[in-house]
Structure formats: structure tokens, C-alpha cells
Amino acid sequence: MRKTVRKICCILTAFTLLGLTACTDLTVGGGFSSGNQIANGTTGGSSDGNATLTPLPEIPEAPEEENIVLPETLDFTPREVTSQYGYRYFAGLQDGEKFCRFYIDLYNACCGLSTEKDVLPIKQTVQDKDKNQYEVELYIVKTLAYGKYGLTDNEAVAVWKTFRAEYPEFYWIDNEVTYDNQVNYTLNLQIFEEYATGARRAAIKTALEAKANGCLDYLSENMTATEMALTIYDYVITSLQYAYKDDGETPEDAIWAHNVVGMAESGEGVCETYAKSFEYLCSLIGIDSLTVGGKAEQTGVKNIPEDAEKAAAYGHAWNVVKIDGVWYNVDATWGDQSTLYREWFGKGATEFATTHVADTSTDLSSIWQYPLPTLSEKTLSPVRMSESDGEEKMYGCIDYAFADITNEQGEYTITLHPDTSVTEDRETKIYLSKVSFETGVLPKAALIKFVGDYENLRPLDMHTENAVTLWSDIRLQDIAWTCPSIDKNGYAITGNSRSSYNKIKCVNF
């Protein structure tokens, strides 16, 4: 039913940097609307560097606790710059104002591109890094001056790359950028030829909004932040197939397979489509998520080059997502296998780093990626818990569920590997990965029962008050004790990890 590739090889699009030998003020083929624009770096349209600068928008303080209010309908207006992680990073630099102003210029230019107008090609003579000159046709949305802010070439490109990564809805931004570093110190914001016509972008807008509204149908206001993020993860995975060329082996390199258009129109894409779709859908309901570029280990994939040092040098994209104030790793591409792998939702930082290495840069350049937020060492393994057959609530892991057990006489049921509304509706099989908890002392309760609606998975009743001997056929791949000892009133739970079927019992010290 789902994919069978173990870990899919993902190829990131390349960034080609060209320096313009000459660049005049270029006329944009498309029209601009001013509805979404915010204050730019100058007043009165002047760019001579002597104009009075308007104040930068203030960055609102983040709430102490995350409170996601699910909208009744989705607002597809591009997010404000102050909500973006990269913008906030630039604002925190000692000379951050120059970065922020150019970021805002990019935002205004993108928001101003109307779907009613076409962007026409302009012939330009360009020079590459080897000083070879040749003529090309560029589809330029707008030419933006970065020199007036005191930015270097590399700094301007770093802002451009950061902006491009943070707004997946601007899928049309070309992955090539040209700039004039000899006369005018300007950068061309370019659009892919495939998306140059307004009619094409209008059709994509309709398809993308329909796909996003389809995701909203699976969300409800009574969900926790964990359940909302997991539902989006499941939705992206069940909505996409990994995109190959006609040979069925080579990853697709067409533009649509590297952005949200793949999800919106064909239901196919490579890792960038998975990551950008997850980020975009999260952003629409107020969940912070970033697309991360880097390299990832690949095992069991097709067409690994013989000259590769090892199967760990492939460009890849994934996400980090903030849930209840904590950042976690997410790799929806790797989650999309023959069954839905939940183990790539919220993988702990150290364990995740054994297979994924994010791009970093000691200088601002084409390989720039801002420092990522501190990621949790804890691995999420979502469960549902209810008391005495009451309303269920999803938690990120058993530890978080345990923290909510407050009734010492209560009987609690914890469901392992819970379905979301997506997997229930689409009858998607979930791989039974390891579920663990780390707390050293069990909460007080009359009964804690672990259940799972899967073949050969019998309930484990944990009578924590009287600590009677307990037996279960639950395997340690389904529930594992990750502490040396877990005790309640002097009794410990132990398991024999060397047995294929593990007997779990309480024993007296």
C-alpha cells in the first residue's frame, strides 16, 4: 500500500551563483500589488543610502507556554517576517539591522507579485566565478539593492537563501541567483520559468490551498500540540509518493518535485517536498517548524555512486518542529516507507545526529544555514491516555502521560502507537517501533494498563499499588524500560531484552 524503499535517497537542488558584469534598473514583467507590503528600508522609494530609515518591526515576545488556537478557516496570507526564525536570528546580530532590512525587501517583493501578471524574460550578460561570460535569459521579479545597507555579496546571498527556506509558499523563487557586485551592488530575485505566468501560479495557488484545507479537515480544536503536529506528519506522508524519473530508480530532479507544488498537484516529490510541505502546513496553524538542509546516511537505496566515500554523503532535507516550547527533529521522508514509521517524528538529538548532519557555515555564503535551535535529547513516541474510559488525550511520550496521572485511585489506559484521524481514515499501517519511558518512579494509581490494537499484542496491566507479579507478551520493541530500574514501593519492573518474547514482571528487591 505504501512505499517499500527503506530510506529514500534525496537530492537537494543546487544553488548557482552568478555575478553580473553589468546591471541596470530592470523593469519587472509582472505587476505588483501593495496589499501585503510592509515598510522597507527607505522612505519615498529612495535608494541612495541617505534616506531616513523607517523603524524595523518589533519582534513580539514568545509566550511562555505554547497555545495553539486552531483557526476555523486557514489564512493563506504570507507570514509576517517577525514570526520567522531566520529573521529573528539576523535581528539578534550586532549589525543585524542591515540583514533585516534586506530580508524585508525580499518579503515585499514576493508579496507584491500578482498572479494576474506574467514575468517576462530579460537578456543579460553574466560572468561566472571563472570569469567566463555568456548571455542568458533571466526571469526577474525585482532587482533589489543590498549595497545601500552595507551588505557584502555573501551576506546578501545568505539573507536570500534564509528567506527562500523560510517561505515554502514562495515556491516559485528560482534556486539560481544573480547579483551585480561591480557597479550597483544589487541582487535579482528570480522566478523559475515554469512559474513565470500568472495563470500557472494561480492554478498552483488553488491546488495548494485545497490540499491545505484537506489537512485542516483532520484537525480539531481539542487536539494537543503533539497531536496536531503528528497529524500533519501523517498527512504529508500519506499524501505523497517519493518521486522517481521514468526509470523508477533515479530521484526526480524536476522543479515541482523539490517544492510544495509536488504535494499540491501530483502527490509526489523528493525530500524537499516532504520537508517544505510539513513546514508550510505547520505554519498555517501556528506551529513553528523549520526546513533543514544537510546530508543524511542512506541505506538500501538505489543508484548509489561507486565513487561515494560511503552511503552517507547525500543531500537531504528534513524539519525541526517546536512542540510545547521544545524543538524536535522530524524526517517525514524517512517516515514514508512500506509502513508509516513514527520513529522519525521527534527523534532525540544525539540519536538523530548519527544519521543526519545539518549544513552549517562559518561565514555567510551560498552554503549558509543559520544555527539551529537547541534540540531535545528526548525521543517522542506519542501515546494516548484516558482515565476510567474517559476522554483520551495524546501525549508526546509515556513520561508526559505519567506526569498527568494525579488520581491515586484512578485506573488509566495508555494506548501505544495510537492512530491519528489521518491514519484511521486512510487505513494506514503504523510500524510498531520501540516505545519507552525514562522515569525512575512510577506514579501512584490503582491500575495502569498498556494496550495496542495490533495482532499478538496483549495488554500489560501494571498494578502499581499492590505490585503483584505481572506477565505480558508485549515485546520490548513495543515497550522498553530505558532505566536501570523502575520502582514503585520497593518493587522493580524488569525485562529480559535477549528474549524474542519478553516477560515483563514486578520483582521484590
Whether 363 has a pLDDT exceeding 60, the answer reads: yes
- The secondary structure of 240-301 as a DSSP string is -EE-B-TTSSSBP-SGGGGSHHIIIIISEE-HHHHHHHHHHHHHHTT--EEEEEEEE---S-
Q: What is the pLDDT of residue 353?
A: 92
CA atoms of 458 and 149, how far apart (whole Å): 65
Which amino acid would we find at residue 54?
A: T
Phi, psi of 85 (to 5 degrees): -60, -45
Q: What is the pLDDT of residue 160?
A: 95
DSSP 42: S
Q: What is the pLDDT of residue 46?
A: 38
Lowest mean pLDDT among 96-110, 149-163, 422-436: 422-436
Lowest mean pLDDT among 308-317, 341-350, 377-386, 498-507: 498-507
Q: What is the pLDDT of residue 481?
A: 57
CA atoms of 177 and 197, how far apart (whole Å): 19
Q: What is the pLDDT of residue 378?
A: 92
In which band, very low, low, confident or very high, does the pLDDT at 507 lie, cut at 50, 70 and 90?
very low
Q: What is the pLDDT of residue 442?
A: 73
Q: What percent of the chain has pLDDT over 70?
A: 74
Lowest mean pLDDT among 28-42, 259-273, 317-331: 28-42
Calculate the average pLDDT of the chain: 80
Q: What is the mean pLDDT of residues 410-415?
A: 88
pLDDT one-digit tens code per residue, 115-146 = 998 999 999 888 777 788 888 899 999 999 99
Whether 459 has a pLDDT exceeding 60, the answer reads: no
Whether 41 has a pLDDT exceeding 60, the answer reads: no
Q: What is the pLDDT of residue 13?
A: 45
Lowest mean pLDDT among 75-89, 384-398, 470-484: 470-484
| Structural domains in the chain, sorted by start | 16-195 (no CATH), 205-358 (3.10.620.30), 383-508 (no CATH)
Phi, psi of 487 (to 5 degrees): -130, 160
Q: What is the pLDDT of residue 389?
A: 78
Which of the given ranges, 34-38, 285-289, 442-446, 478-482, has the highest pLDDT on average? 285-289
pLDDT one-digit tens code per residue, 226-241 = 999 999 999 999 999 9
Give the pTM: 0.86
Nine cell digits for residue 157: 546571498
Whether 456 has a pLDDT exceeding 80, the answer reads: no
Q: What is the pLDDT of residue 480?
A: 59
Whether 4 has a pLDDT exceeding 60, the answer reads: no
CA atoms of 82 and 88, how far apart (whole Å): 7
CA atoms of 329 and 431, how far apart (whole Å): 18
Q: What is the mean pLDDT of residues 30-54?
A: 46
Q: What is the mean pLDDT of residues 295-303?
A: 59
Q: What is the pLDDT of residue 340?
A: 95
Whether 91 has a pLDDT exceeding 50, the answer reads: yes
Which amino acid would we find at residue 230?
A: L
Q: What is the pLDDT of residue 342?
A: 92
CA atoms of 296 and 299, how far apart (whole Å): 10
Whether 285 has a pLDDT exceeding 90, the answer reads: yes
446 vs 358 pLDDT, higher one: 358
